[in-house]
Amino acid sequence: MALSEEALARLHGDARQILARYPQPRSALLPLLHLVQSEEGWVSPEGVELCAGWLGLTPAEVVAVSTFYSMYRRKPGGAYQVGVCTNTLCGVLGGDAILERLEEHLGVEHGETTPDGSITLEHLECNAACDYAPVVMVNWEFFDNQTPSSATDLVDALRAGQPPAPSRGATRLCSFREIERVLAGFDDGLAAEGTGAGEPSLAGLRLARQRGWSAPAGPSRGRANGDGSAPGTGYGPEGGPSGDDAPAHTAVSDPANPTPASPSEGGGAEKKAQL
């Protein structure tokens, strides 16, 4: 279905805001893909064309990126993306059993959407929440320490229009399209709500402090040394070109790795003027 003129006008305005954050326009591709996905619920062919036009890329270049990352849908999906972690720790503690139960309960398998359009089910790799395993994520929000029974209760509540609050993070569970707009970089006002780090995570932090543990120092920043040793990390003039991928407000916050706040050579200003 073609986007309405109202939707296109809204997307063009939002795209201008996103592009203004980046020294290099092409670096805005990922948030722009989230933006079009927030409108249609997936990265449609029309969404691909919009991103290509905003950035002066070919549709093939946009598709190459959108199909590489699993967070971008290739077909329409449900209002709730329910992901079950099946990586090692979650799997051992019950993640595989949870996924099997949900597949049977919902009548769908990985990557499929329920007939009522409410839930898209998938298995996920590590969600970096091993201290709360097994974990289920709904629209990228955590539901910790799940069991097959609690997971079926969770999806039943979602289908009944009564989404429960996540275990951590925002106190209100957003729809898939709402959270995609947040991932595009637009604040929903919920960032300061809810619980952040829980007791299992804080226990490790306390233990590290008690024993005086600290992370090892990272490599020094800068270009490759004359002796052939590996170049350092970082961005900006002394750390390599990756600074072009950082939003301008992030780059200028680090004086050690300056990145120009305005578009550099390559037609950035001209591309923005086309919107």
22-40 pLDDT tens trace = 988 999 999 999 999 999 9
CA separation for the pair 153, 232 (Å, rounded): 49
Q: Does domain 1-76+235-275 have CATH number 3.50.30.10?
A: no
The pLDDT value given to residue 273: 41
CA angle 181, 187, 188 (to 5 degrees): 80
Task: Give the pair of three-digit tokens for residue 120.
Answer: 């898209």
For 83, the 3-state DSSP assignment is strand
Question: Rounded distance, CA 166 to CA 135, Å?
Answer: 11
Under the banding of pLDDT at 50, 70 and 90, the label for residue 227 is: low
Q: How far is it, in rounded angstroms, from Cα 185 to Cα 32?
A: 9
Secondary element (H or E) of residue 141 = strand 141-143
Q: What is the mean pLDDT of residues 201-215?
A: 88
Q: What tokens appear for 80 in the block?
A: 């709730």
| Partner residues linked to 266 by β-bridges | none
Among 114, 189, 191, residue whose Cα is nearest residue 158: 114
Residue 119's beta-bridge partner residues? Answer: 80
pLDDT bracket for residue 170 (50, 70, 90): confident
* Mean pLDDT, range 65-83, rounded to an integer: 95
Predicted confidence (pLDDT) at residue 158 exceeds the cutoff of 90: yes
Give the per-residue pLDDT at 250.
Answer: 60
* Higher-scoring residue by pLDDT: 192, 148: 148
Q: The pTM is what?
A: 0.76
Q: 22 by DSSP, 3-state: which?
A: coil
Query: Is the model's pLDDT at 243 over the cut of 80?
Result: no
Rounded Cα–Cα distance for residues 238 and 217 (Å): 19
User: Which of 43-52, 68-77, 219-228 bottoms out in mean pLDDT, i.e. has the lowest?
Assistant: 219-228
pLDDT in the model for residue 264: 43
What pLDDT score was predicted for residue 204?
Answer: 83
AA letter at 220: S
| Rounded Cα gap, residues 201 and 215, in angstroms | 16
- Left (φ > 0), alpha (ψ -120 to 50) or beta: where does 213 sit? beta
Minimal CA–CA distance to 133: which of 143, 141, 123? Answer: 143
pLDDT category at 253 given cuts 50, 70, 90 is: low
Give the pLDDT score at 199: 83
Structure tokens, 173: 């569970």
Task: Give the model's confidence band at 203: pLDDT under 50 very low, under 70 low, under 90 confident, else very high.
Answer: confident
**CATH superfamily, domain at 80-174:** Glutaredoxin (3.40.30.10)
The whole-angstrom separation of Cα 60 and Cα 66 is 10
| 3-state secondary structure at position 136 | strand
User: What φ, ψ does residue 206 adopt, rounded to 5°?
Assistant: -65, -40
Dist CA 112 CA 119 (whole Å): 8
Q: Which amino acid is residue 34, in one-letter code?
A: H
More confident residue, 73 or 243: 73
Mean pLDDT to the nearest integer, 228-253: 53
Domain ranges of the chain: 1-76+235-275, 80-174
As a whole number, the mean pLDDT across the chain is: 84
